[in-house]
């Protein structure tokens, strides 16, 4: 791992832990996706779930809105089964008729290989701190499973995570989560994105903007124009290299792989001598 990647990972973990609420009212690292967001997210990818076994790690069945929605809509979604595991060292399996709750050796998702192995799709809102989203993605990938995963919007700015985007293994739903429920009854806003191995069939993205050299500046040492964090500045008529933030809640929410291709991994081209971390894309048509 390169030194800049190590530094970025440390900064990412510190920011994630700060966002997770340690030291704030309610504390802890428990964030529950709301009923509305769960419904909207699952509805978007429901056609991928028919006949599938879903695993929800980090999901107490008495608290998890994902589990509750999957259970209540089991037949409508055409599911084959739903597993959950949680930190009380327990597991739950719902077969469409009955819940089967039983003890397991460890409820840590890092110790639940058998559940990853036995499912088809992982759906999870993992703890946001201490590198756990990266560990979750690694577990999912090691078992070759499809997934829907909520994580920090800066998650894809880690090179190891971005490699999943570049390979087509990770997409970002065009969906914004407003807030999460906390165990103490409060609600918190956390800058997150919804990542998935599924393609949610985004329409072609148009901004109505034309290329303007005064707006779309070129880098000192890289043949690309810069749009920074603002995907609404991507010109509709430019066919060359475009530099854009890899933020999961930014351009990736609009990214249609039939319209744009990723032509370079995360790079640090310089603008007036200042390096900018960007991914490089190019319009296909």
Model pTM? 0.87
pLDDT confidence of residue 29 = 65
Tens-digit pLDDT profile for residues 251-276: 999 999 999 999 988 889 999 999 99
Average pLDDT on 130-153 reads: 94
Q: Look up tokens 């469409």; give the residue.
A: 96
Strand partners, 180: 33, 188
Model confidence pLDDT, tens digit, residues 48-105: 999 999 999 999 999 999 999 999 999 999 999 999 999 999 999 999 999 999 999 9
Domain covering 3-196 in this structure, CATH number: 3.40.50
In this prediction, residue 131 has a pLDDT band, given cuts at 50, 70 and 90, of: confident
Classified as helix, coil or strand, 187 is strand
Q: Encode pLDDT of 182-201 as tens digits.
A: 888 888 888 899 999 998 78
List Cβ neighbours of 34 (8 Å cut-off, separation of 6 or more).
65, 178, 179, 180, 181
């Amino acid at each position: 791992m390169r030194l800049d990647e190590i530094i970025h990972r440390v900064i990412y973990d510190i920011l994630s832990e700060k966002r997770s609420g340690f030291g704030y009212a309610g504390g802890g690292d428990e964030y529950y996706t709301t009923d509305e967001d769960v419904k909207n997210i699952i509805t978007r990818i429901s056609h991928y779930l028919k006949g599938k076994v879903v695993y929800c790690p980090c999901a107490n069945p008495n608290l998890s809105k994902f589990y509750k929605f999957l259970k209540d809509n089991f037949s409508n979604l055409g599911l084959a089964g739903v597993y959950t595991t949680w930190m009380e060292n327990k597991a739950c399996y719902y077969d469409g008729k009955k819940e089967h709750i039983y003890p397991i050796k460890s409820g840590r998702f890092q110790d639940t290989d058998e559940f990853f192995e036995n499912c088809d799709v992982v759906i999870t809102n993992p703890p946001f701190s201490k590198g756990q989203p990266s560990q979750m993605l690694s577990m999912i990938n090691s078992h070759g499973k499809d997934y829907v995963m909520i994580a920090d919007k800066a998650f894809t700015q880690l090179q190891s995570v971005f490699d999943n985007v570049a390979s087509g293994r990770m997409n970002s739903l065009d969906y914004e989560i407003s807030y999460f429920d906390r165990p103490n009854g409060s609600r918190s806003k956390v800058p997150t994105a919804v990542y998935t191995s599924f393609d949610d069939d985004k329409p072609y993205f148009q901004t109505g903007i034309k290329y303007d050299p005064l707006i779309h500046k070129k880098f000192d040492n890289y043949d690309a124009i810069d749009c920074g964090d603002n995907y609404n500045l991507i010109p509709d008529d430019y066919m060359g290299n475009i530099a854009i933030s890899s933020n999961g809640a930014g351009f990736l929410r609009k990214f249609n792989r039939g319209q744009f291709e990723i032509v370079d991994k995360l790079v640090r081209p310089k603008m007036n001598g200042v390096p900018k971390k960007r991914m490089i894309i190019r319009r296909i048509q």
